A and B are shown apart, each in its own frame.
Chain A
C-alpha cells in the first residue's frame, strides 16, 4: 500500500519531541530548544523506524556522533567517554522507537512499527519517500533533526552503500 502523499496528515512533531525530551532527556539543567532552526549541519547518524499498513513511511532522528553519545550517556546514566557504540545504537534506536510510536498513534491505522535501525547517514536512503514534516530539537547545543517521511517500499529500510 502506498500513501497518497498529497493527503495531509496532521502530526505535531514539536509536541511529541518535547514530551519525549522532557520525560527522558531533561535533567532540569540543560537548556533545550524545540522547533529550532535547521542549520543543516552535523548529522552523521540516523535512527529510524518504519511504519507499514494504513500509513507507510519512516520516522527518522538524525544527529552528530557527539549528540548520539550525549543521548546514550544520559539514558544509560554513564559518562560520555564510557559509552560504547552498542550503547549509542541502542539509545538512539530507542529514541526513534519512542518518537515513532507516538507519531504512529496519530496517523491512519492500523499499521505496524518496525524495530529501530541505526546507521551512518552517508549509508542510509529512503527511496520513493517524501518529507511530510520535520522539527529540530537543540539539546546541549547539538541539533537533533526529527523527520517524518511518507511512502517508499513498505516495511523495508533501504540501506545503500555510499
Chain B
C-alpha cells in the first residue's frame, strides 16, 4: 500500500515514518507532503491508499485538505496525526469524513492499534 504523510514539519514526517516502521508497517511505500496544498496534488498524482495528515499546516490546513478531497469525490482513507485533539476537532474531523485522530505524542503501539485494520 501507499501512504501519504502530510506535515509541515520535516522532523514530524520523519517521526511518523519511523513510527510506522516500528509498528511493523515497514513494507509500505511512503510519500511525503509539506503542506495541505502539496498533499492535495500528491493525492491526485500518487493515488495513495491512506493519508496521514497534520491538522495545522500552512497554505492548506489538514481539515481544508480533507474537505477539498471529499468535495472532489475522492474517498481515500484519511486520518489526522495532530498535537491538538479536542472534542470540537474530533467532531469536525468525523463530519468531514476522517477515520480518526491520532494525537501527538504517539507511540508505535498507538499506530498498531489504530492502523492495523487498514494496513493489515
Contact = CB atoms under 8 A, between A and B. Distances in A.
Nearest to B84: A101
Contacts, number: 59
Contacts of A97: 9, 56, 83
A98 B84 CA distance: 8
Interface residues of B, number: 21
Given A105-B84, A115-B58, A90 B106 contact: no
B88 A109 contact: yes
Contacts of A94: 9, 11-12
Contacts of A113: 56, 83-84
Contacts of B56: 97, 101, 113, 115
Nearest to A110: B88
A24 B84 contact: no
A77 B18 contact: yes
Contacts of A20: 105
A2 interface: no
A93 B9 contact: yes
The range of chain A's interface size is: 20 to 34
B47 interface: no
Given A24-B105, A115-B58, A90 B11 contact: yes
B32 interface: no
Interface of A: 19-20, 22-24, 72, 75-77, 87, 90-91, 93-94, 97-102, 104-105, 109-110, 113, 115
Given A98-B105, A104-B84, A113-B56, 16 more contacts: A20-B105, A23-B106, A75-B14, A75-B15, A76-B11, A76-B14, A94-B11, A97-B56, A101-B56, A101-B85, A102-B83, A105-B86, A109-B86, A109-B88, A110-B88, A113-B84
